[in-house]
Structure formats: C-alpha cells, structure tokens
Structure 1
Amino acid sequence: MAYLTSHFLVFTTGSDTLKSIPLKSIVYEGKESVEAYTSFMGRNPKVKFHVRKSDPVAIVKSGQHTSTSFLDVIDGVIVVKSDLQKTILEKLTQALERKEWKNDDSETSKKRPDEGFKASGAGIGGIIRRKKEKQSVASKQIDEAFDGDLESLMRNAKNVITLATKCKAKLSREDGGGEVDELSKMLEGMGIVGGVTKDSAGDNYTSQLAREINDWLIPTLHNKSKTSSTPIINVTDVYVMYNRARGVDFISPKDLIMGLEHAEKMFKGFKRKDFMGVKCVVGKQFREDIVASKILNWVEESGKTVDFLSKNLGVNEVMGKCIVEEVEGGGKLVRDEGVEGTKFFKNEFDRFFEQAGIKA
C-alpha cells in the first residue's frame, strides 16, 4: 500500500513497517523520469522512479521511534493496483513538478536561529531594548530609501531642467514670443526654475546671477510689504528662500553675497542694510526714520517688549531686537529692565532737561 503527500511517498514493506521517501530525493527531469509498466502477463502493475543514493529514507515501525537509513539502490519501484496505476503516476508527477518542499526550505532559511535566553533580553529593559533595535533598523531603512529616492529625483530633475532650458533657448532664437512665456509659466507652476549656473553662463555668470536675484527679490519684497509694515529680509532667509525657488543647482553663500552686491549696483531695486551686525535687504523705499517713528508711536503710552514690536514690524524676534537696539542707539528709546522683562519707552529725558533748564 502506498500513500502520497506533498513532501513524501509513503509505502508498506511488511505487516508492521512503513517507509517514506522524500520527494525531493527523487530525480525528476520531466515526466519521463517517472514511468508506469506492467510485468509479464499483466500482473503486478508498477510505478518506477530514480532515487539519489545520498538521500535518507525514514523507517517507521509501529509503536517505536523513527529510525533513518539510506537507500542502497538507485531505482525505486512500488507495486500498485491496476486501476490506480495511472492515477498514482499522475499525482506523483504533479507533486514532483510543484516542488512544495522548496517553500518550506525558503521559510526555514528566513527564520533566525534560536539564540537562547539572555539576561539582557529579560524584563522591561529587554522589551525597551528590542523596541529601540527595531526602531533603529526601521530608521536606517527609511534613510537609505529616502537618500536613494532623493538622489534619483535630483538627477532626473536636472535632466528635465536641462531639456526645458534648451527648449526655451531654441524658442527664443526662433522668436517664439508667447511660447517662451508659456513654457516659463508652465515650469514655474511645476516648481521647476532653471537657475543660472557657472556652466551655462560662463564668463557672464556674475551679471546673469545678479539679474536673476534681482528679478526674484523685488517681487518677494513687494509681497512682504503687503503683510508687513517693514519689508525687511535678513540675508540668511534670502539664501534659503532663493535656493528653494531655484529648486536644484543651489548657489553658495559666497555667490549670493556677490550677486546681491552686483544687483544693488546694477538695478538699484533694493538696498542692503546692516542692523547691529545683522545683514539684511530692504526695499528701495525703506527709510530708517519712518521705522523709528512707527516704534515711537507704539511705545508712546506704555512700554513695549521686543516681542510686541517685532510682531508689529512683521519681522522675527532676532531681527526686531536688532532694529529696536538701532533706534535705541540713536537716542530715541530707553529701556527698563524689571521683573516683567525688558520694555522700551520713548526717551523723554531731553524734554525733561529742557524744561528744567538743564543742558544735557
């Protein structure tokens, strides 16, 4: 009697003995590797196959533990009933073609070997440690994936910008007119702006960069004036915002300073200003006396903090502190440092001295 599973061929050799042959040990190179034949006079239908000598055969005896021996022959033959010969041949062939034992082998290889018990892995400390290890692995995988994707994105973005720049230049040479403007608007809508580079501009890099900075900075200052009473941007913010607008091919801080210097001289659309050591750019209509007047009006009735004045000026607190100290240095403000913090007041000492007839 024989039994067929997805992994073994099991058959009887006696009244109390079962033998099993792993299907992976059967040589299978096509349907011809397994054959059915009948002995003389049509008796004893058989199914014949070939087994590798090195593969073990498990021998199971009733009521005893499993023992293992090795086949001594290459040919394997099982005797079956005549009406089952064709069915067993088909089923055995199908099982050999599916090779389901390979799935078990791959799953086993994925499992980590048992490392045994470790004191460091016990208790709450062990749980926290294992959680940190998993987070570290996950973080590393995310970083690697992000770096790879970002590198690919930047590489492809450069190719797109190069192609767009060539198209724009070709249309300009052929007097494309509205098509050039349409292409520029389309690229800007996608967030792609082909910035001036040293490779593309050559000896004209400085002048072209200055023009590009000016064309970007003037509208930026104008937009800021809509939401702020004082259109001031420090150079650090200019660097970040401008490179973000370029999208790719970032320029260096040194190139930005150089571009700002040339743009100020060439176009006179903005001014560079230094507030207590902090370098800024301001609109060409900017006047320090107007800023000082605004601050004096805000502190007319009561003292105000740097935070309050910065918000009203529309600048960050660091920038606001520099502006207020600049006005204070001009003698128009005084400060009072108390438990509520530092507050600035209008300087009334000159008026007091004048009323008292005292010369300051």
Structure 2
Amino acid sequence: MALKKRNDGRYKVTYSSHGKRHYFYGSTRNEALAKREAFILELQKAPNIDREITVSEWLDEYLLDAKNRVARATYLSYESISRNHIRPILGDIVLAKLEPFMIRDLLNKKQKDGCSTRTIEYIYVVLKAALTLAINDGVLYRNPAAGIKKPKATKEPSIALTLPQLKTLLHVIDDPEYFRLIYLTASTGMRREEVLALRISDVNTRRHTVSINQTVHHDNRQTYITNTTKTDSSQRTILLDDETYELVREQIKTVQKRKASTFGYKDFDLLFPGPTGRPISPTQASKRLKTYAKKAKLPSGFTFHGLRHTHATLLLEAGANVKSIQVRLGHSSFKTTMDTYSHVTSNMEEDVLKKIPKLI
C-alpha cells in the first residue's frame, strides 16, 4: 500500500487484488484509507465481485440456473418477466452499482404504466431471486432489493354464476364437445389447465371418478403438457355425479371415433383433444367461453376461472362441507378455501343466525 498526496491536494491509496490494482482517492488521508477499507470489506463478503457485469448479463446467468431447477412453464414466466420488464430499464446498469432506489423506481414506473399488481409483485420476486443468487455466488455482497417492501398483489375477485346463469350459459353452447368441456369444469371445479390435460385413462369407469395428474400450458411456440400439477394437493381424484359421468362417456366415444377417422391423428389420450389429437390451447378455450358468455348476456368480467368459483359457491350455498370442497378444488390448505370464499360463508352465517330462534 502506498499513500501519496497528489498535486491537486487529494490523497491516493492503492490496493491490488487478483493481479489488478485499484485506486482510492480522498480529500484527507482518512477518507482515502476508509474507501480502501470499504473495498477490502466488499471483497471479503463477495470474493467474486465483478464491477463490469451488467444486470442483463447476470439475468442470463440466473435464467440458466433456473432452467435446470424449475418446470418449463415457470422458467418461461421468469424469462418473460426479465425480457419485458427488467432488462429494458435496469439491464444496462452495472450489477455492483445497482441501488435500492433504482428498483423502487422500476416498480413505481410499472405501476404508473398500468401493470397489474400481480405482475409488479412477480417482477420484484424474480429480480430479488436473481440478486440472491449473485450473493450466494460471491458476485455481490448485499442485496439491493432486500430492504424494499414486497409489492402486494391484489386479485380481482372472479365472478361466480348463479344456477340460472350457469344453465343459460350451457343452453347457448351449440358445440357438443365444448358443452361437455364446460359442463365437466362447472361440475368438478377443475382448473382450466387441468381439464384440458385430462386423459381418457384418468377416467375410472368403475368408480365414476377422474384423476388429475397433469396440466396443459402454452408459450409463444406451442401448447404442451407437463406431468405436474399446480401444487401437490392439486393432484387429486374427483367423484362425478351420474349426469356428468354420462357426458364423459359420450365424450370418450366421440374421441375414439375421431381417432379412427382422422389421418395423422396424434394420440395424447386426451379427453378433450384438438381436431388432430393435440392439446387445446388454454387461451383458445377461454376465448370461446367469452363468445358464449356474451351470447348468454353474462357479466363482462366472467372468465373460464369463474366456472371453478361457480362450482365452489353453489356447493357452499347448498350446505356442502368446506373441508370436502377444499379437497375437491385441490387447495393446498383449508385456510385458502376459507379466504377465497369468505364472502359466501359470511352470507351463510347470517342465514344461520336467522334460523337460531326457530331452533330454540
């Protein structure tokens, strides 16, 4: 270490690390030495610190690591968030110079741009995870996202149909196969990605049940199936009522006829395949429902996911056991079911209070 006073009155001190010399300046001896000590401390905490790698370059490293750890659909969501939201604003910044206020500015900008709270939360989660990996690899000594409060996602409540509304919707569907798809979804509460991935072999003809073991996804390239579900509890078996089971039997017969008559049919064993056997895109299924919902004059905010809420709401209103509904929906906890349908259970509680005087 050589401490020198320059001609301009400032003090200069040096430090060599990995064959590279670093220079530190200060208006006083102590200031120059303090900067040098701070740098050495950084090296101790982050021995692989790189003062040239950018945020965008590090995101490449993070995504490469994530690709080997997470499911394809999850990886693609990470990549999309990185490409569309993080890189355009923070990508050119040197990773070691990334500051908390820059991350706050990014989140605030996305909010002003009208991004959903869920997207903003996801931006924060992906960025923080990438920075945590940098710390674990010794590339950073602190996580600039650590002190930033995680944005809270607010979900628009899904619209649940009344029984008359559901009957009206089913009445206007003129495609027999799509009718069966919607009826099965409404009578079981399955997620869109679950019912579209349902296989004929998942139907138990003796017990009248369907088992959920896989899901369908779509990215910019193709629609594909994964042998995973949203959570472990999403892998479940659902008992069908007689009418629903008969519709499932009809659908199996329709698919078997198509297999025999369609040249080049690609057999994925799907209960609701596309024309040539391949899985139906979730987006395509939702768009068709929008068309029929408009024809049935349903609320404009009704979505495919609303069929799941309709199923649960009608069961609760009919007095079904909440724990049974949790298992049927594949919720990971009883609390999730109660939180999601608290508005229904509170209405039921009011109804109970009205009946108490008649019971006593």
Question: How does the TM-score come out when normalised to structure 2?
Answer: 0.22
Question: How does the TM-score come out when normalised to structure 1?
Answer: 0.22
Name the structure with the higher strand share: 1
Which entry has the higher C-alpha Rg, 1 or 2? 1
Q: Which has the higher contact order (CA 8 A, sep 6+)?
A: 2
